[in-house]
Structure formats: structure tokens, C-alpha cells
Amino acid sequence: MYATARRPESIADLEADGCRTLQLDVNDDASMTAAVRAVEAAHGAVGALVNNAGYGQEGAFEDTSMDEVRRQFETNVFGLVRMCQLVLPKMREQRSGRIVNVSSVGGKVTFPGGAFYHATKHAVEALSDVLRFEVAGFGIKVSIVEPGLIKTAFGDTATASIAASSVYSDFNAAVAKRVEGAYEGLMGRMAAGPESVAKAIEHAVASRRPRTRYRVTAGARVVLTSRKLLPDRAYVLMMRTQFPQPKA
């Protein structure tokens, strides 16, 4: 088993559990290629690929710079696409393989202030569904993991880059407060630890017939069911009770 990170020292503790570590930056093609080639040189092919790199970008649509938008897509989407492309040739040769793409409940449900994060996770959902069809005949299975609230530092990262704005300042402040307080109240009680995501990934990798989707946390199931049942207008009205709507 291999674990990768931009800074290998950040995952050095995994070596004590028998996990090999490699440097890998999903924004650097040479880094991705080198990591895949190292595994293929040792084992012939990557047996299972788990795409877990990603972060949240929060803030008003108009306020978000194009540099931030591009960085969001480079990390959450384009890096995932390239990693799949790199491992697929050898997986096809051995006629087996697993690809697990970590998406989010945010790939199906949107919240104000998260336009570009939601867009990347929508993309992961669509890409994974198409890829699953195209590679099934080669013995390769593709699963999506859709976590809800997971108790990590994700929220801190998501709010760190919210822009200051005279027009959207109240809205952006409310988004930041909402994200930071997401682990409190009812939804917070339905959050889970990262081990719940790890368990879903393990099942997707090891099961003879993995599911196409794994929804993680009770909160994720509640949110997805609610969105499915609510008409668009009713959903917008509900969001207005949670977020101030920007206006002149």
C-alpha cells in the first residue's frame, strides 16, 4: 500500500503501519507520472487508485478570482483526471483494477457561497460515471465516495480564502460563519470521523462487487434525500433561511 502527499513528511507516521510513502502533487504532471511509474516498476501496475486530493473554495461567485477558480479545478478535477489516465494503461493490460474517486454530498447538493467547489464535485460525479462505463469491459471498476460532514480541518481551509468585498461582505461573513459552525447543531451530530470514509474506500477497493456510490454519514443521506424531495423553489426558500441573500 502506498500513501502520497505533496509533503511526504506530513504522512511519515503511516510508515510505522507498513505503508510506503511517495511524493505526489496533483498540480504537477511530472510528480504524478513519477509516482505512478514507481509503483508500476515495483508491482507491474497500480492495483487500486484512490483520488482523495481536494479542498473547498468558499465565497461569492463574483468575488472569486480566476486564479482561485483555476486552482480549485486543477486540484479537485484535473489532477484526478490525470491520475486516472496515468494508471489506466497498465490496469487494462492486467485486465483488473479499482478506481475510487472521493467526491462529496456537495456533488449533488449546492449551498450558497460554494459555487466552484460544487462545480468541481459535480464534475467528479459525471467523470466517474462515464469512466465506469468505458473501462468496465477491461475488468476495471470505478466507485464514488460521497462524504457528508467529516470531522477534519476542511472547514478552516474552505474559509481561509474568502475574499473581502464591499458588496458581498455580509454574505461572505455569513458563509464563513455557516461553514465554521457546520459541526454544531443537528448536522454536527450527524458528522463522522475520517475513519468512516476510510471504511467506505476499503469496501470499494476490496469488495468483489463494489457499489457505484458510497454515501458516508447520516447527514449526507438526509441532505441528499431532502434535496431530491424538494422542488427547486422550495429549496431556494429554505436556503434564504440560512444565508442572507445579497441585494442592492
Question: Which residues are known catalytic residues?
Answer: 103, 117, 121
Cβ(102)–Cβ(52) under 8 Å? yes
Cell 476499503 belongs to which residue? 202
73, containing H or E segment: helix 66-73
Q: What gap in Å lies between CA 50 and CA 29, rounded to an integer? A: 17
The total number of residues written for the chain in this structure: 248
Q: What gap in Å lies between CA 207 and CA 243, rounded to an integer? A: 41
Q: How many CB atoms lie within 10 A of CB 4?
A: 22
Q: What gap in Å lies between CA 167 and CA 65, rounded to an integer? A: 15
Cβ(223)–Cβ(207) under 8 Å? no
Which stretches of the chain are assigned E, i.e. beta strand? 2-5, 20-23, 48-51, 97-102, 140-147, 213-216
The neighbouring-strand residues paired with 97 are 140
Nine cell digits for residue 135: 473501462
